[in-house]
Chain A
Amino acid sequence: MTAVLQIVFDALSLGSLYALGALGIALIFGVMRLVNFAHGDFIAFCVFAMLWPSTDAAAIVFAGQLPSYLLIPLLLLIGATLSVLSELIVFRRFRNTNPATMMIASFALGFVIRHLLLMLYSSRPKSVTLWPSLGLPVEFLGAHIPMLQVVTIIITLIVLAALVLFLKRTRYGLEMRAAAENFTMARMLGVRANGVILLAFAISGMLAAAIGLILATNSGTTDIGMGANVMLIAFIATVIGGLGSIPGAVAAGFLIGAASVVFQATLPHDARVFRDAFVYGAVIIVLLVRPQGLFTPKSAKQRV
């Protein structure tokens, strides 16, 4: 029973991370059909923003020292700013180009950000301690669950609830959903294209910052590649969930997280190292069964 509970919590917390990532990619894809490969580097940027730029081995913690009620808004702001700037400087000029071109442009942007970070901070992993008390386990129905897992799940649920409220109850949320459904039509009905796209980028950047905070707290180190893995899975999750479908992206994020944890727990020991192969294999099978994704938005139906 406790083992099962442990697996459930592992799956939920890993799934939360993937779901937050998938959300950040799905929001932007919805409004401008851009698969943002720079998202992983946005995450890394937010993590590194807590440190003072230096190539020394010892990390000089800068923003990371701030009390949490200042640190969290500051990082969210950094994430949002970076994301909005990338829209203004780069992606704005790629509207209506071939999706492959946009994808490669976003990858090139991520490449630039990553190497900028490498230049400023060097490739050494650095330790950054945030809220060490979160690493302690709490007892829950006999299972020892790290506090951080519980916090991650709660934060994700709060973010999801806030986003649902925003999308369903506010004027801007309505505009964003309309733009995701049919961008041309939404513009004709008075939705401002630039406004909606900027908003989507800002929210996506904040989600990247949230993932960065969780990752940094979890591992206690900063590493240049830490966002890339989440981004990859998140990217796959948005497709499995049905491109353009926001609930689908979240559900698929949780699903992939759960699949990884369950494969990890149930595969025989020798096959455990091949867990990722099983996960990717499962992804291919899901796509074969449902090529349009698990949740298909109406706008994605192909018309002739």
Chain B
Amino acid sequence: MSQRPSVIRQTILTPIVLIAALLVMAALTYCFGSRAFNRTAVEMFINIMIVVGLYVFVGNSGLLSFGHISFMCLGAYMTAWLTIPPVMKSITLKGLPVWLLHAQLPMWIATPISGFFAALIALIIGRIIMRLSGIAASIATFGLLGVVNNIYSNWDSVTGGQGSIVGIPPTMNVWTGWIGAAVAIVIAYLYAISRSGLALRATRDEAVAASASGIDIVRERLIAFVVSAFIIGLAGALYAHFLSIVNPGAFYLRTTFVTLSMLVVGGMYSLSGAVAGVVAMSVLIELFRNLEKGVGLGSHTIALPNGVQEIAIGIITIVILMYLPTGLTRNLEFRWRGWPLQRRLRRPAQTALKELN
């Protein structure tokens, strides 16, 4: 019998707490929420999937990626190609290969296929990009975003170009959203406690020491890249089923930055941070959206002018980061107090000096 509890026993609480908390939110929304509020909740669950996917790569490797939203694009279009009725496809998307043109799959098969498709592309591109490190890798992922967006906005016969593809079956509700988020959290958790996840975090904290201990940085990064692309591909597919239309503009800079902000606001090195960031930002957005619509105070309604929502959210983001530069969760995970892993070691002084320069 070993003296220390296993890794799973030390950490299993984090995903359970997160998934349970989301289940409560889903149940409350389902029971009491209006139609519009239900949609907001689904959007939040999809954002959780995206941000958790980002966390798998960004949080474990320490590299900032601007390119992950392109995997969302790949997933969303893949599910669109697979699920739109062939009659509609033959009119709008003439350039598709014949087997794809006649395919029509149910959502629960098309969504995993979309995830695997995104993961496959990530495997191919990641083999090239993951050789880079630091800011060069971030810019290369930016390049990936640019390439994917440019191709999907202009390859008219296959992607419908700048316009939207319509006719994707709208099969999303709060429960499917919750399942998606739960799957994302479980995958992210399993990756984080895996051998590869541990190795990758070692390269994040001290690349040289990790590499001297026999860790193949490129290989571990590639694994994380593919896993995160899979999660975000799933998220993209669910997003397509949520809106029932896709267009390339939805998968570009705005989404990239909004999701990155959510991750950083929550705490980019922790899974709890990824989820907490999305929940906090979604609550804020919903709050200000309602304030803009107007709040009844006695006989008066007070409404904020349009546009205040975005300005307030930007300012709140800045203020949160000012006072909590490591995010709302300060990069910690939800755990019982006194558990051994909760006490994090302070960062060595030398790393702090290195960051100064």
Contacts and interface: CB of A to CB of B under 8 A. Distances in A.
A22 to B, nearest CB: 13
Contacts of A118: 307
Given A280-B143, A287-B139, A98 B317 contact: no
A274 B133 contact: no
Contact of B325 (A101, A107, A235, A287): A101
A108 B335 CA distance: 31
A127 to B, nearest CB: 23
Contact of A284 (B128, B265, B310, B311): B128
Contact of A274 (B58, B131, B139, B150): B150
Contacts of B308: 119
B1 interface: no
A85 B135 CA distance: 27
A273 B157 CA distance: 13
Contacts of A109: 314, 318
B318 A280 contact: no
B140 interface: yes
Interface in B298-357: 305-308, 310-311, 313-315, 317-318, 321-322, 325-326, 353, 355-357
Interface string A96-112: 11111101110111011
Interface of B: 58, 64, 128-129, 131-133, 135-136, 139-140, 142-144, 146-147, 150-151, 154-155, 208, 253, 257, 260-261, 264-265, 268, 305-308, 310-311, 313-315, 317-318, 321-322, 325-326, 353, 355-357
Contacts of B144: 280, 284
B150 A291 contact: no
B314 A112 contact: yes
Contacts of A274: 150-151, 154-155
8 smallest A-B Cβ distances: which pairs? A119-B307, A112-B314, A280-B146, A115-B310, A273-B154, A280-B143, A277-B150, A108-B317
A182 B357 CA distance: 6
Given A100-B264, A115-B311, A108 B139 contact: no
Contacts of B155: 274
A33 to B, nearest CB: 8
Interface size class of A (residues with CB under 8 A): 35 or more
B307 A112 contact: no
A60 B58 CA distance: 46
Given A90-B318, A228-B253, A107 B261 contact: yes
Contacts, number: 138
Contacts of A100: 58, 64, 264, 268
A299 B307 contact: no
A104 B150 contact: no
B246 to A, nearest CB: 19
Contact of A104 (B136, B307, B315, B321): B321
A283 B310 contact: no
A96 B356 contact: yes
Contact of A288 (B128, B154, B305): B128
Contacts of A19: none
B296 to A, nearest CB: 24
A291 B147 contact: no
Interface of B is mostly: helix
A277 B318 CA distance: 33
A239 B139 contact: yes
Interface of A is mostly: helix
Interface in A269-304: 273-277, 279-281, 283-284, 287-288, 291-293, 299, 304
Interface in A209-238: 228, 232, 235-236
A2 B326 CA distance: 57
19 contacts: A98-B325, A101-B321, A108-B314, A112-B318, A115-B310, A119-B305, A119-B311, A239-B136, A243-B135, A274-B150, A274-B154, A275-B150, A280-B142, A281-B147, A283-B143, A287-B139, A288-B128, A291-B131, A293-B136
B314 A115 contact: yes
Given A35-B135, A115-B311, 13 more contacts: A94-B322, A98-B326, A108-B321, A111-B317, A112-B311, A118-B307, A119-B308, A119-B311, A184-B353, A281-B147, A291-B131, A291-B132, A304-B208
Contacts of A281: 143, 147
Contacts of B326: 98, 101
A188 to B, nearest CB: 12
B148 to A, nearest CB: 8
Contacts of A184: 353, 356-357
Q: In the complex, which of the residues B307, B318, B325 has the most CB atoms of chain A within 10 Å of its own CB atom?
A: B318
Contacts of A277: 146-147, 150-151
A37 B147 CA distance: 20
A171 interface: no
B132 A287 contact: yes
Interface string A67-93: 000000000000000000000001001
Contacts of B147: 276-277, 280-281
Contacts of A273: 150, 154
Contacts of B142: 232, 235-236, 280
A183 interface: yes
A63 B163 CA distance: 38
Given A115-B311, A287-B140, A101 B154 contact: no
Contact of B307 (A115, A240, A280): A115
Contacts of B150: 273-277, 280
Contacts of A104: 257, 260-261, 264-265, 317, 321
Given A115-B314, A118-B307, A119-B306, A103 B64 contact: yes
Contacts of B264: 100-101, 104
Nearest to B312: A112
A97 to B, nearest CB: 4
